[in-house]
Amino acid sequence: MPDYDPNNIFAKIIRGELPCHKVYEDDRVLVFLDIMPRAPGHALVIPKNAARNILDVDPDDLAHVARIAQKVARAGMQVFDADGITVQQFNENAGGQVVFHLHMHVIPRKENVAMKPPATEKEKPDVLADQARRLAAAMQTL
């Protein structure tokens, strides 16, 4: 497996070199909205420590990512009046991974509504800002 690239997009977001629509942050994880959501409220949960994917991540970081993904899922159910949640996590090119910093997708779903294909279109920044604000508020109640 290739080495972790500290200049990947998510590493730059963690360092504050690129912007994101932040939903939640603690000392170990950052949660923000996917810029090309497959459904409204599509969030990404990432560890702050360097990890390419599930193959090299520290198990405690992975556990915390999963713990926070559960909170994001619960918040997404409330905020988007969802009927379900899809969680996805891809590893290496053959596994569907495009950005090589570990991330868990948390995607609110409505009954009988298909997800958009990956990377279909960028969501408007004001829509993402509003959704991030509502998800962040819901996270605080959980």
The one-letter amino acid code at 77 reads: M
Name residues whose C-beta falls within 8 Å of residue 126's C-beta, 6 or more positions apart in sequence: none
Give, as ranges, the residues between 90 and 129 that touch ligand 5GP (CB under 6 A).
90, 96-99, 103, 118-119
Read off φ and ψ for residue 112, nearest 5 degrees: 65, 20
* The one segment of 23-31, 34-42, 106-114, 133-141 that binds ligand 5GP by CB under 6 A: 34-42
Residue in 21, 42, 101, 103 annotated catalytic:
103
Give, as ranges, the residues between 35 and 94 that touch ligand 5GP (CB under 6 A).
35-36, 90
Tally of CB atoms within 10 A around 91: 17
CB of 66 to ligand 5GP, least distance (A): 16
Q: Is residue 101 annotated as a catalytic residue, yes or no?
A: no
CB of 16 to ligand 5GP, least distance (A): 13
Place of tokens 């942050």: 25
Closer Cβ to ligand 5GP, 24 or 90, answer by number: 90
Place of tokens 């009954």: 111
CA dihedral for 109, 13, 69, 21, sign (positive or negative): negative
Give, as ranges, the residues between 1 and 30 that touch ligand 5GP (CB under 6 A).
9, 20
Q: How long is the chain? A: 142
List residues near ligand 5GP by CB under 6 A: 9, 20, 32, 34-36, 90, 96-99, 103, 118-119
